[in-house]
Amino acid sequence: MVPTAEQFDVVIVGGGPGGYAAALYGAGAGLDIAVVERDKVGGTCLHRGCIPAKELLETAHVYRTVAGAKEFGVLADQPGLDFGATQARKQKVVDQLARGLSGLLKNRKVTVFSGEGSLAGDGRTVRVTGGGSGEGGSGGGDVELRGEAVIIATGSVPRTIPGFDVDGRVVLSSDEFLALGSLPRRAVVIGGGAIGCEFASTMADLGTEVTILEALPKILPGCDEDVVNVVLRSFKRRGIDVRTGVKVTGHSPGDGGTAVQVEGGDPIEVDAVVVAVGRRPVTEGLGFTELGVEVDDRGFVVVDEQLRTGVEGVWAVGDVIAVRGWDAPHPQLAHIGFVEGMQAIKGILGETVLPVDYSRVPWCIYCHPEVAFAGMSEQAARDAGIDVVVSKHAYGGNGRAMIIGDAQGLLKVIATAGPDGRAGQILGVHMVGPWVTEQLGQAYLAVNWEATVDEVAAFIQPHPTLSEVFGETVLSLTGRSLHG
């Protein structure tokens, strides 16, 4: 028998970035919060996504650095790889962050219930089943929770394609890839999006022979074409075979590996296939449709721009949502989960919620070379019929880039063109090259503050830094330049 429901101000189903951000922010605002999590708080990002993937990319970076040390006069042996130690370090970082997060939730008196949460009653009752003892809170076992408001933050899981059932041995999703005990000698990565490129980059740097099979005409959909071309050149130099416009039809497992079939081409013999073709929302069996929470034909929970479902008091955030009126796919990014978690709490508190402008969110892809952008690409601006002026600068002439020995890349600024052809508002900044994911901040601010070229050109960039490339690219749009 289920005991009487425990009461909270907000009950959150899912403890990933969307859910835990809502919990921390809401608790900080004085709300009594419960989080229901069936696995571990931290979700995909911390345990099976962003953090472990970037940790493995960092190993690839260290490997490349050691391999190139001689150029700096540092005489080290050629690197070898102890992948067990790599994985152990990755796990240590994940565990440390997980302990930190649990501590934060505990300090803010968020009650975490471990178990499967599903909506019941009028949508503001959450049934928790199959639970163990509550992590960091009082919850445990089967319980019913009652919230003044409920936030759905159930996230997403890897998609696969017909003929490629994940077996964890030869066919891997991102979940299995990040937990591998050793790297394959030869691998096919299906899908050349963010995950596919990050994994291909990691494996290639650590000695795997990699082929990327992408269905579309180009990899990294959504990225500016000049940026993609820089990535492609680097991938080619590092031996990654990128095939685009490819139809993958199936695979035939053999001795320890498999042969991947592509339409009109020879089979590709590999030890592992990594499927990275996107992620699907987690909504089945959670009582959403029964209660009238709208779920679209791809399984996403439909919300308005205030993140409200159609059911009174039920909100949804993160990878699981589709925002009504926003045509492009909703960005499945941890930082979007964070901001939506906070927005939902503001809405619950009755505060004004400025909708997220999904066309200007920061994007960072951590393959080598890194990619980072915010706002419109050149093509997107032209497709929208906007007159634009564009300025590009290569990292090749930048002192800091030469010093660190990583000068391949470019930065591109897209701005409106006035009737006199002069550059006006900055619409987009697209970067590829050394540490661009750490340089995006000021570009993001410029785009989202709707700053003009003249305003940003007046800012001082410290010397010598990689960020001088941003300053120089904006300066050129004023019609004058320093080093351009």
**Which is nearer to ligand NAD, 106 or 335 (by Cβ)?**
335
What lies within 8 Å, CB to CB, of 289 at 6+ separation is 295
Residue among 197 and 303 whose Cβ is closer to ligand NAD:
197
Give the torsion sign (CA, 89, 94, 95, 101): positive
C-alpha span between 341 and 62 (Å, rounded) = 35
CA distance linking residue 299 with residue 41, whole number of Å: 23
* Smaller CB separation from ligand NAD, 248 or 321: 248
463 classed as catalytic:
yes
Q: Which of residues 237-276 bind ligand NAD (CB under 6 A)?
A: 248, 276
Q: What mask, x for binding ligand NAD by CB under 6 A, covers residues 396 to 435?
A: ----------------------------------------
271-310: which residues touch ligand NAD (CB under 6 A)?
Answer: 276-279
For strands 423-433 and 410-417, give the pairing.
Answer: antiparallel
* 48 versus 308: smaller Cβ distance to ligand NAD: 48
Q: Is 52 in the site for ligand NAD (CB under 6 A)?
A: no
Contact 300, 11 (CB under 8 A): no
59 is a site residue for ligand NAD (CB under 6 A): no
End-to-end CA distance of the chain: 74
Single residue of 366, 373, 435, 444 touching ligand NAD by CB under 6 A: 366
Helix (H, G, I), strand (E, B) or coil at 291: helix
Q: How far is the CB of 279 from ligand NAD (least distance, A)?
A: 4
Number of residues that bind ligand NAD (CB under 6 A): 25
Residue choice 363, 373, 444, 470 for contact with ligand NAD (CB under 6 A): 363
- Distance from C-alpha of 251 to C-alpha of 337, rounded to nearest angstrom: 36
Nearest to 307, CA basis, from 264, 355, 372, 350: 355
- Structure tokens given for 151: 């936030």
Query: The tokens 């990319």 sit on which residue?
Result: 57
Sheet holding 248-253, edge to edge: 248-253, 258-262, 268-270
The C-alpha atoms of residue 322 and residue 307 are separated, in whole angstroms, by 9
Smallest gap from residue 92 Cβ to ligand NAD (A):
22
Minimum separation from the CB atom of position 319 to ligand NAD (A): 8
> Under a CB-based contact definition with an 8 Å cutoff, are residues 51 and 93 in contact?
yes
* Contacts to ligand NAD from residues 148-207, by CB under 6 A: 161, 190-196, 198
Identify the residue whose tokens are 């790889």.
81
Closest distance between ligand NAD and the C-beta of residue 342, in Å?
A: 20
H or E, element range at 382 = helix 378-383
Phi, psi of 442, deg, nearest 5: -70, -30
Candidate segments 119-127, 200-208, 213-221, 287-295, binder of ligand NAD by CB under 6 A: 213-221
Q: Is 216 in the site for ligand NAD (CB under 6 A)?
A: yes
Angle in degrees, CA 106, 33, 336, rounded to 5: 90
Catalytic: which of 251, 330, 368, 463?
463
Amino acid in position 106: K
Which CB, 366 or 470, lies closer to ligand NAD?
A: 366
In the complex with ligand NAD, the residue whose CB is nearer, 282 or 311, is: 282
- Which residue of this chain has its Cβ atom nearest to ligand NAD in the complex? 193
Give the binding range for ligand NAD (CB under 6 A) out of 134-142, 215-223, 228-236, 338-346.
215-223
Smallest gap from residue 85 Cβ to ligand NAD (A)? 24
Closer residue to ligand NAD in complex, CB, 279/308? 279
Q: What is the 3-state secondary structure (H, E, C) of 57-71?
A: HHHHHHHHHHHCHHH
Q: Whole-angstrom Cα distance, residue 60 to residue 421? A: 44
Residue 74: CB minimum distance to ligand NAD, A: 31
Cα distances (Å, whole numbers) of residue 7 to 11, 14, 29, 154, 351: 9, 18, 18, 21, 23
Half-sphere exposure of 222 (CA within 13 A, CB side): 20
CB 185 to ligand NAD: min, Å: 22
Binding mask 332-361 for ligand NAD (x = CB under 6 A): xx----------------------------
Q: How far is the CB of 272 from ligand NAD (least distance, A)?
A: 16
Give the residue numbers marked as catalytic: 463
Q: Which residues bind ligand NAD (CB under 6 A)?
A: 161, 190-196, 198, 213-216, 221, 248, 276-279, 332-333, 363-366
